[in-house]
Amino acid sequence: MQMLAKAVMYGSVLVAVIAAVAPDVFAYFPLVLVLLGLVLGFMKPMEDVSARVAFYVLAAMLPGIADNLDVVPVIGAYANGFLDQLAVFIAGVAIANLFTVLAKGLRDA
């Protein structure tokens, strides 16, 4: 299970890099990243509340922060695209963790 989680993490970084460098190659990069995030989120749910909140905030704020990289010549647009795609993956992890906590709360009630 641990090796599969590592493979999902490395795969998501690879997909985010490819999506940032060549976004027109495949139209469904965001869908793949959300699905990878959901898989990782359900495989390794976060028990720590502060870590979950950090993922929620990061998923929401990272694209806005990454937009500032556009002023960097040559590589700024690629870095912005990579961080935007990574935010999609992080959003998938956050959604999976939200559903896991919700299901646990309903089960315990």
Residue 43 contacts residue 92 (beta carbons within 8 Å):
no
Q: What is the pLDDT of residues 15-56, one digit of tens each?
A: 999 999 998 899 999 999 999 999 999 999 998 999 999 999
- List the alpha helices (DSSP H) in the chain: 2-21, 29-43, 49-66, 76-108
The DSSP H or E segment spanning 24 is none
pTM comes to 0.92
DSSP state, residue 48: -
Query: Could you tell me which residues come within 8 angstroms of residue 15 by beta carbon, excluding any fewer than 6 positions away?
Result: 29, 32, 33, 36, 85, 89
pLDDT band at 1 (very low <50, low <70, confident <90, very high): confident
Q: What is the pLDDT of residues 80-103, one digit of tens each?
A: 999 999 999 999 999 999 999 999
CA–CA separation, 96 and 102 (whole Å): 10
